[in-house]
Amino acid sequence: MMNHRHLLFLALFSAPLLAETIDNCASQLGSIAVELRVARSRPASARTTFVCPKDTHALIGASKQRVLNALGPPDATGEMGWSYSFTGAGGGERTGGYPELSFSFDERQEVTLVSCQLIR
């Protein structure tokens, strides 16, 4: 039978373990998906507010299907992977360019590299 000390011990030492189970990949893909929808809903001449993510480590190992489910079909595909353009309807912005987020996949169809660059 557990007493209060056992419960306190479990509470103190299991909290960090529970915190580690947060799905950072889903959080980051969700944030990117919102930014992508906002960018695409604006006119082509509007500047985007999207800023390339500084840390994409949480996305490494995500399945291609997971990226597709979160972001929808990519704007461009190739041998190396997929790209998403953060630009308004009808294409690139008139001034300043737009960010493009690219995913590279391995033979297991998992993300191996995420890169983001300004396309002018």
Q: CATH code at 68? A: 3.30.1450
Q: Is residue 106 in a domain? A: yes
Q: How many residues does the chain have?
A: 120
Q: Is residue 17 in a domain? A: no
Number of domains in the chain: 1
Q: Is residue 68 in a domain? A: yes
Domain carrying residue 115: 23-119
Q: Is residue 6 in a domain? A: no
CA distance 2 to 23: 31
Q: Is residue 2 in a domain? A: no
CA distance 65 to 44: 28
Q: Is residue 109 in a domain? A: yes
Per DSSP, the residues of 52-115 read --S--GGGTT-BHHHHHHHH-S-SEE-SSEEEEE---BTSS-SSS-EEEEEEEE-TTSBEEEEE
Q: What is the pLDDT along the chain (120 residues), one digit of tens a residue?
A: 555 555 445 555 555 554 555 789 999 999 999 999 998 898 877 777 888 989 999 999 999 999 999 999 999 999 889 999 998 866 554 557 889 999 999 999 999 999 999 988
